[in-house]
């Protein structure tokens, strides 16, 4: 009986070997988290092929695919914040703007103005909390129809992070891309 391959980076791994395990076709994955793992494999192998990454494979649940993509975007945006933080400070960006658009932060009891970086962190925190909520997303295998309404709200708020970076921190945006 063949031994199962461990798909993770071991302590002490060399930089050139980081995440260099083979991609397993989705239909051969048997994990509860197979959709997440497959999306992460596609991102790892070619993050620029966005069309392929967002395309729902035949036989896969469209809503589950969208859910896992939103979770992946939140994970990736956390890495983006690390790059953005030195440039996007409370003094350089006291408001969350994209050109003339001013966005109020929904991370408070009543929406209010925040510095751009605080807005970004609050948005990522609330999106992550929502997407990990057992109340709205009790399973990683299927998405309740009543929870689909949250996708557009999360997507809209995450888009604002990209818009701010594009219009106010183009160099950081380009580096991250």
CATH number at residue 100: 1.20.140.30
Give the pLDDT score at 166. 95
If phi > 0 it is left, if psi is from -120 to 50 it is alpha, else beta; for residue 22 that is beta
Detail the residues annotated as belonging to a binding site for Zn(2+).
88, 93, 164, 169
Whether 94 and 140 map to the same domain: the answer is: yes
pLDDT bin (cut points 50, 70, 90) of residue 148 is very high
> How many residues are there in the chain?
177
The percentage of the chain sitting over the pLDDT mark of 90, rounded to a whole number, equals: 53
In the predicted model, what is the mean pLDDT of residues 13-27? Answer: 75
In the predicted model, what is the mean pLDDT of residues 37-61? Answer: 82
Whether 36 and 104 map to the same domain: the answer is: no
Whether 80 and 163 map to the same domain: the answer is: yes
Asked if residues 47 and 54 have their Cβ atoms less than 8 Å apart, the reply is no
pLDDT score of 3 more than 60: no
Q: How far apart are CA 81 and CA 117, in angstroms?
A: 8
Give the pLDDT score at 26. 67
Detail the residues annotated as belonging to a binding site.
88, 93, 164, 169
Whether 31 and 84 map to the same domain: the answer is: no
Whether 73 and 157 map to the same domain: the answer is: yes
| Dihedral (Cα; 107, 113, 116, 120), 10-degree rounding | 10
Give the pLDDT score at 31. 65
Give the pLDDT score at 2. 47
Q: What is the tens place of the pLDDT at every residue in 106-141?
A: 888 899 999 999 999 999 999 999 999 999 999 888
* In 24-155, beta strands by DSSP E: 97-98, 101-102
Helix or strand or coil: residue 97?
strand
Q: How far apart are CA 136 and CA 127, in angstroms?
A: 12
Whether 11 and 98 map to the same domain: the answer is: no
In terms of residue numbers, what domain contains 7? 1-60
Q: How far apart are CA 86 and CA 162, in angstroms?
A: 16
Give the pLDDT score at 1. 43
pTM over 0.85: no
pLDDT bin (cut points 50, 70, 90) of residue 6 is low
**Cβ-Cβ contacts under 8 Å for 92 (sequence gap 6 or more):** none
Q: What is the tens place of the pLDDT at every residue in 51-98?
A: 988 888 888 889 988 998 999 899 989 989 999 999 999 999 999 999
**Cβ-Cβ contacts under 8 Å for 67 (sequence gap 6 or more):** 131, 137, 143, 151
Whether 45 and 27 map to the same domain: the answer is: yes
């Amino acid at each position: 009986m063949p031994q199962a391959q461990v798909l993770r980076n071991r302590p002490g791994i060399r930089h050139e070997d980081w995440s260099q395990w083979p991609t397993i076709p989705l239909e051969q994955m048997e994990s509860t988290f197979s959709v997440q793992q497959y999306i992460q494999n596609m991102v790892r192998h070619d993050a620029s092929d966005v069309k392929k990454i967002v395309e729902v494979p035949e036989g896969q649940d469209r809503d589950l695919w969208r859910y896992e993509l939103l979770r992946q975007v939140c994970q990736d945006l956390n890495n983006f914040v690390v790059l953005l933080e030195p440039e996007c400070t409370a003094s350089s960006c006291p408001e969350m703007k994209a050109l003339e658009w001013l966005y109020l932060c929904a991370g408070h009891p009543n929406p209010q103005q925040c510095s751009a970086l605080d807005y970004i962190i609050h948005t990522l925190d609330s999106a992550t909390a929502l997407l990990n909520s057992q109340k709205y997303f009790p399973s990683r295998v299927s998405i309740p129809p009543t929870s689909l309404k949250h996708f557009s709200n999360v997507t809209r708020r995450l888009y604002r992070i990209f818009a701010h970076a594009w219009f106010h921190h183009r160099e950081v945006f380009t580096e991250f891309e």
